[in-house]
A and B are shown apart, each in its own frame.
Chain A
Amino acid sequence: MRRATAGLALLAALLAVLPAFARGYALSVATLILYFAYTGQAWNVMMGFAGQLSLGHSLYVGVGAYAAGALFFHYGIGPWAGLWVAILLCVALGLLVGFLAFRFGISGVYFALLTIAFAEFTRIGFDHLDWIGGPAGMFLRVAQRDTWDLANFRGPPVMYYYAMLFLTAGAFALCSFLLKSKAGYYWLAIRENEEAAQALGINTFAWKMLAVAVSSAMTAVAGVFFAFYYNNLFPEQIFHISRSIEIILGPIIGGIGTLFGPILGAAVLTLLSDGITELLGALGWELPGIKQVFYGIVLLIVIVFLPHGIWPGLARKLRLDR
């Protein structure tokens, strides 16, 4: 465990000084990695900890982004106030989905499809909501971008990098706390065998609801970040099922249910994606689509040969699991 702590401290230090070396492209890729690490961590609370497979997390990213974005766009209300509205809305939505699903005993594949249905339902709904621009999109005003303006969350790329680093570190700390708390043990019991957990007197409904609430609240924050980082929102993009899939790929490839899995998975996948682009560019293979074919093949190989993801094996090799 001491090795792990030291390793973690070193990683954190490296990430903290990264902007001194990396600019532009590298910083933007690093921000993207942290974004997926964070959202993956949020998803992991529901799936990795409590065993509830959500394939519709874009719902919370989208609603969070639109909530804070619309408040800013229409009333000039800054992101810090919008953040709480976004969290409240997403938690309410998550609890609604959870309540309906868990009350009626829906789990597994059925639960996954229910989450897709909610995300898709909302996507089409937002496409018909004039207040947020519908499919024509909502464009947040991008006023200044040179100095740090934390109150309005406006500034240079390095500010967004540090915001994302802060969020990822916070999510890591929160998750490691949760895992060691009572909630973590109950979730584990539910994940491994829900009926047995119930027989032991665990109120599985309440604990699953807690997992959904934590996960949706965390994802909502990512949504607010997304809104102020990209400054333009389209329902078709933000709620799309492919966005949900992007979120869950990281933790599954990295190692589901582990703390490092989402971070490692996000880094590997993002670098893999850009690496293949570079490699094919160097080889002169410019056929559109060929990159994604290779990406798919690598994904296939990883899931076939490393069913538990990359992290568990790697941790054993580096002796970080002790």
Chain B
Amino acid sequence: MSSQITRRRFNAALAGAGLAAALAPFGIVRAQARKVRIGVILPRSGYLGFLGQSCQKGADLAPAVIKDMLGVDIELMNADFESNVDTARTRAERLIQEGANVLIGAFDSGASAAIAQVAEQRGIPFVVNIAAAPQITEQGYKFTVRNFPTSVDLVRNGLALIGDLFQATNTAPRSAVFMHVNDTFGQANAKAIAALMPRLTQLPFKIVETIAYDPAAKDLTVEVSKAKATNADFLLNVCRVQDSIILRREMVKQRWQPMGIIGPGNPGMYEEQYYKALGKLSEYSISNVPWYHPKADITRAVEKQFLKQNPKDKPMYHALNVGFTFESILIIADAFKRAKTADPKALNDAIHQTDIKNRMMLGGPIKFNAKGQVEGIASACIQNLNLRPTVVLPANAAEAKPVFPVPGYKKA
């Protein structure tokens, strides 16, 4: 009997090469104080693959930059959660078992929420690099912090910058048509806009129509026809990169030329694909997003390392992804330096006392409130000028002057 069972277990072990590893309770490697081991969980394949790989670049460059800056040794342990929440959870467990002292990730709100639960359970600190769902820091987690604005903050900053933009260009558009992708991120932003707009009476425009479209949409003909028919002065859109490309192209095909296209807090229109796919058509699109300070020293160091590791790429196309992923590792390195140990509990305490003034992204110092949420991340008004994202507002970080309305604008 027993030989049968051994055989069965043996067969199962052959079937899954990971069985031995999976069931080994002894795999825990004791934390070494000389370096901190960071588990990086990102969606490098599956439907978020493009974004996960973009974030990964920010993680990959961090050890070298931080070694120079703080003299701290970092070991990255990378895991791909394949855009699947189940996998996010098991990958987090696996990294902890392999001896990760702290986790970062996960770009996606659902996966971040799943990892936060594991982190809480196991007493391992978790730094969210990017994920905007407000609920993540509303659950009372003691081991999760987020160095990224919630969708409400994101949109509030974005709308305020639209006001600044109109002031800086002496314009006062009366109407906007609001288009948004109907996914987790788009929906959260749309809700924030609906809540904030009525209170922002200083803004001269009204939203005349809201058009939500499918995240899997491959064709936006109808959506753009509908938007064009509103005769709105400009287009306010919450999108991702692929749909923003389709959208822009469709506008040209349908010969719709509003005063401008403004994203109030979303990625998409400053990403490399947008320039590559659209060429000249990418010009003048505006994104009001958290951005790195183009003149900060850290930015220079990060840019240098980025170019060394990705000679064919440009850091500005990954600004938000690389910036926040890098900063989450910076936060850990800084805490590790102060705590002088990689013990997760001590690291967690140190992370919660973070106060980093010399940072890469625009905004106040990195400080977490009692819930573990960062406050005071600023947004910049980014306009595509000469085929690259350019900071045009706020004035103190600006690299060029904003252009609005766009040349070729035709009153409908």
Contact = CB atoms under 8 A, between A and B. Distances in A.
A–B contact, 8 Å CB criterion (strictly below): yes
A230 interface: yes
Interface in B7-63: 7-8, 11-12, 15-19, 21-25, 44-45, 49, 52-53
Given A10-B5, A135-B183, A275 B90 contact: no
A139 B22 contact: no
Interface string A1-38: 00100110010000000000111111111001000000
B94 A25 contact: yes
Contact of B90 (A28, A267, A288): A28
A271 interface: yes
Interface string A270-282: 1110111111000
- Size class of the B contact interface (CB-based, 8 Å): 35 or more
Contact of B109 (A26, A137, A142, A231): A137
Nearest to B18: A275
A292 interface: yes
Interface string B320-362: 0000000000000000000000000000000000000000000
Interface in A246-283: 267-268, 270-272, 274-279
Nearest to A290: B45
A289 B97 contact: no
A320 B388 CA distance: 67
B184 interface: yes
Nearest to A127: B182
A250 to B, nearest CB: 13
Contacts of B183: 135, 236
Given A139-B133, A157-B121, A28 B89 contact: yes
B117 interface: yes
A24 B85 contact: no
A24 B122 contact: yes
Nearest to B52: A288
Contact of A25 (B82, B96, B110, B141): B96
Given A139-B133, A278-B17, A288-B80, A22 B184 contact: no
B281 interface: no
B93 A25 contact: yes
B144 to A, nearest CB: 11
Contacts of B17: 275-276, 278-279
A234 interface: yes
A80 to B, nearest CB: 21
A198 interface: no
Interface in A182-233: 230-232
Contact of A134 (B53, B136, B187): B187
Given A136-B184, A232-B114, A275-B19, A288 B191 contact: no
A299 to B, nearest CB: 12
A271 B16 CA distance: 5
B113 A232 contact: yes
- Size class of the A contact interface (CB-based, 8 Å): 35 or more
Interface in B165-197: 182-184, 186-188, 191
Given A137-B184, A271-B12, A6 B85 contact: no
Interface in B103-122: 109-110, 113-114, 117-118, 120-122
Most chain B CB atoms below 10 A, which of A21, A134, A141, A145: A134
A314 B52 CA distance: 40
B25 A26 contact: yes
B86 A268 contact: no
Contacts of A156: 121
B12 A289 contact: no
B386 interface: no
Most chain A CB atoms below 10 A, which of B45, B90, B140: B90
B19 to A, nearest CB: 5
B365 interface: no
Nearest to A28: B93
A268 B53 CA distance: 29
Nearest to A274: B18
Contacts of A232: 109-110, 113-114, 135
B23 A22 contact: yes
A289 B22 contact: no
Given A128-B182, A271-B16, 9 more contacts: A25-B90, A28-B90, A135-B215, A136-B184, A136-B187, A137-B133, A230-B89, A288-B44, A314-B8
Q: Which 7 A-B pairs have the closest CB atoms?
A: A271-B16, A275-B18, A25-B93, A275-B17, A139-B135, A275-B16, A288-B45
16 contacts: A21-B25, A22-B23, A26-B97, A141-B139, A156-B121, A230-B89, A231-B113, A236-B184, A237-B85, A272-B15, A274-B16, A275-B17, A288-B44, A291-B80, A291-B82, A292-B45
